Structure 1
């Protein structure tokens, strides 16, 4: 039996936010980029209905809302985004969230720090 996997993703979402372990990061803020990728089995072909897919406007609003809540760790922000995507789209069986801090406070004029959380409802055997 043939199946079709569908992926819906947003990449390079830019936010100015106040995440960081150090107090000065929570005061000064930083620029972040966010990517959210979802995957699921496509149940039906054809049709042009939004309820058959992941609404990327909803993904954007989840990312925007969570980026506005200052937290110490990017892992916490990514985990909250991942959980909200699971709740909003229960048919999704893969989610990946990446958050990148574009100028972390440890130096390096082009340095970036990133955290990625990847969830799969049906992990492959190791």
Structure 2
């Protein structure tokens, strides 16, 4: 099993539950951990592995779609990756929101979602 880590992918997006978030936007960071079984080892051809540039594109495409809840975003990203890449066995997505609409809040919040292929196949 091999693992690809995409870390601190930065996006500016209009996700959020509150009107000011959907207008002003916010800074987000995404971490993706993707476990997969390559078609053969050692991996010597891109066709035998998962192209991390395509994983990035899946994430970027989802981050462009305004969504109210962070939980929905991580769920959608993880499921998109599982569905698009047949070699992928497990996906772990962490979404960090940098600025919260909370008075005097300092720090960030993150939401995580993990799914493996067998779980994805049993979901309704």
Does the pair score TM above 0.5?
yes
Deviations 1:77-122 (A, max 9, x none): 1111111101111221110111100111114464101111001235
Of the candidates 9, 14, 37, which is equivalent to residue 13 of structure 1?
Answer: 9
> How much is the aligned-residue C-alpha RMSD, in angstroms?
1.6
TM-score (norm: length of structure 2): 0.87
DSSP 3-state at the match of 2:50: coil
Q: Alignment partner for residue 64 of structure 1, among 60, 81, 87?
A: 60
User: Which residue in the other structure is 1:45 paired with?
Assistant: 41
Q: Distance in 1 between matches of 2:98 and 2:66?
A: 16
Q: CA distance change for structure 1 residues 18 and 50 in 2, over 3 Å: closer, same or farther? A: same
Q: Which residue of 2 aligns with 1:98?
A: 94
Q: Which runs of 5+ in 1 are unaligned?
A: none
* Contact kept? 2:82, 2:117, Cα under 8 Å: no
Partner of 2:75: 79
In the aligned structure 2, how far is the partner of 1:77 from the partner of 1:69?
Answer: 9
| TM-score after normalising by structure 1 | 0.86
**Runs of 4+ residues over 4 Å off in structure 1:** none
- The whole-number CA distance in structure 2 between the counterparts of 1:58 and 1:75 is 22
Aligned residues: 119
